[in-house]
Amino acid sequence: MKAPRDEDGITLKHGDHITFTFGIPPICVTARLVEGDKDWHVTCVHPADVKPKTTTLRDLTKYYQIWKASPERVRAALKTFAEGGE
Give me the tens of pLDDT residue by residue for the chain, a chain 86 residues long.
Answer: 788 988 888 888 999 999 988 888 888 899 999 998 889 999 999 998 888 899 999 898 888 878 888 888 788 777 776 777 65
The 3-state secondary structure of the chain reads CCCCECCCCCECCCCCEEEEEECCCCEEEEEEEEECCCCEEEEEEECCCCCCCEEEHHHHHHHCCCCEECHHHHHHHHHHHHCCCC
Q: Residue ranges per domain, the chain? A: 17-82
* pTM (whole model) above 0.95: no
The per-residue pLDDT for 86 is: 58
